[in-house]
Amino acid sequence: MKIFAVLLMLVLLAQGNSLAQTPYYQGKTISFVVGSGAGTAYDIYARLQGNYIGKYLPGNPTVIMQNMPAAGGVVAANYVYGVAKPDGLTLASINPAHYFNQIQGNKEIKFDWTKFTWLASSDKSEHMLYMRSDAPYKSIQDIRNAKEPPKCGATGTGTSGHYIPRLL
């Protein structure tokens, strides 16, 4: 019984000290850096999360959006990694496929993907590859066996529009 009373007192004392501290986010602003333009999927995800995150973090910080729509989000990823302070006040909404850019050794990549911390995923995406009906390819096997692969468009090298056709 004595041990239980001592443990209970220690828990209550530790809790009393933590409750007296000012919440870290109180009076601060969180910047949500979005690696795409306004109205795109990653922008919408960030804005939906931004509308609520400030309400549920202790201290209720202000949340602002900052779009950086260049190079398929690589500019935003480089900014968050190399310029923004690692103080918990900058979040990023970027394409998770950017790790392919690092693996490929693209010279534009200034971030180390393994040093980013994942917080949440906003969706589960399914991908579709399609082409014109008058193209010479009628199946995936036709594409794989082609001497000259079809040309594909993408917003950047780390996007699914770039890496999925390359993987095929």
Q: Please list, in sequence order, all residues whose beta carbon lies within 8 angstroms of the beta carbon of residue 78, skipping any fewer than 6 positions away.
A: 108, 109, 110, 111
- Specify the residue for token string 């480089």: 78
Query: Where exactly are the structural domains of the chain?
Result: 22-115
**How far is it, in rounded angstroms, from Cα 123 to Cα 61?**
25
CATH topology of domain 22-115: D-Maltodextrin-Binding Protein; domain 2 (3.40.190)
pLDDT tens track, the chain, 168 positions: 566 554 555 555 555 555 557 889 999 999 999 999 999 888 998 999 899 999 999 999 999 999 998 888 899 999 999 999 999 899 999 887 777 788 888 899 899 988 988 887 777 777 777 778 898 888 888 888 889 878 877 777 667 777 777 777
Q: Rounded CA gap, 106 and 25, in Å? A: 36
Whether the pTM exceeds 0.75: the reply is no
Count of C-beta atoms within a 10 Å radius of residue 53:
19
Going across the sheet that includes 90-93, the strands are 62-67, 29-34, 90-93
